[in-house]
Amino acid sequence: MSNIKTPSISRRHLLQGTAALAGASVVNLPRSASAQAKGKVVVGTWGGDYARLLNKNIEQPILIPAGWEVVQDQAGDPQRRSKMLAERRLPRGTTDVQGLSALNMHQMDVAGVVEQIDYSKLKNAKNLLPSMKYPYGVGHIYSGKVVLYNPAVVKDAPKSYKDAFDPKHGNKLGIIDIQYQYTLVAAALAAGGTPSNLDPGQKLLLELRKAGARIYPTNEAFAQGMKTGEIGVGIMWKARAVQWQKADIPVVAVTPTEGALSYVSGFVMPKNAPNKEGGYAYLDAMLEASAQENFAIDMGYNPTVTNAKVAPDLNERIGFTPEDIKKLVDMDYKYMTDADVALKEWWDKSFKG
């Protein structure tokens, strides 16, 4: 296990503090006619629910009325990271901020393609949890990786990653393609490995594929499989479980006995962002209490600012117990960064292929 220490690694402190290019779709969001034009902000993001809620909770109510034109450049994070790397020698890139996991933010910092954040430019930084103030990015929302199951399909309630990744589930086990990094680590924990020893997990994943495990391209496709009963078990962020339960998808969330993998989604700014003023405006808007509160309601993710108010009943559903917090598992960022190319190649060719 690497002994690298960065603010992005301390998930326990975080939670205690709150008890490719091809195929990328672009969404143009018009300014309010009454607002004085300030310029265009290009936001790299995943598509689906996250992109929709960025628009609903940040862009439409805060940025567009203030005069900003917002363009979403939607694609998976591997494609967007590749795009950032390909554009690094250009004087001007094509995006102003990029939405990435904490792990991927770290990877882009190591690659030398992201700006170091000047927190004096963010009026809402005073409310940001200390562990969300990465030198190279800003934490937006957080949750943990739990086991999900449909009681109508899986009769014996799983209690662990090991139970979820049992070959006996056959084609009733669903695996999400875009979650490959976290799936590899969760499988390693299920098989007796560690966040920096994934070999046992890779062997287990090959067994699961042979047994018939289904691979879904996106979180939304996985949810549809759960809804129809095509699958009955898998792993996903607890926040998504809350969101899907609200949509009447029959899933139950279980914090795994191995300890849940922690997850933070945030934003970085490319060094060659064409509109850094607009990038900072976006970062500040996402930290507004109203935006953070609505993400908790709409998507089930925990706020990263201390002035966001979450109703007690909602906090009970999206948060974690003190015991769960003590057992949270951090990714080994250095290991995953060093091994990412090889792991993605293994995932695409050996596991998926």
Q: In one letter, which amino acid is 315? A: N
Q: What are phi and psi of 256, to 5 degrees?
A: -65, 145
3-state SS, residue 49? helix
Quick one: pLDDT band at residue 328, thresholds 50, 70, 90? confident
Q: Taking residues 171-189, report their average pLDDT.
A: 97
Distance CA 328, CA 174 (A): 23
Q: What pLDDT does residue 27 have?
A: 54
25-39, 65-79, 80-94, 110-124: segment of lowest average pLDDT: 25-39
Give the residue among 212, 239, 240 at the shortest CA–CA distance from 226: 240
Tokens 């901020």 belong to residue: 97
Tell whether the model's pLDDT for residue 330 goes beyond 60: yes
Give the residue among 114, 118, 94 at the shortest CA–CA distance from 104: 114
For 226, the token pair is 């759960």
Tell whether the model's pLDDT for residue 34 goes beyond 50: no
Q: What pLDDT does residue 30 have?
A: 52
β-pairing, 68-74 vs 302-303, is unpaired
Which is more confidently placed, 240 or 25? Answer: 240
For 348, the token pair is 């695409």
Contact 145, 261 (CB under 8 A): yes
Quick one: pLDDT band at residue 317, thresholds 50, 70, 90? confident
β-pairing, 174-176 vs 214-216, is parallel
In the chain, what are the domains? Answer: 7-142+263-322 (3.40.190.10), 144-261+330-352 (3.40.190.10)
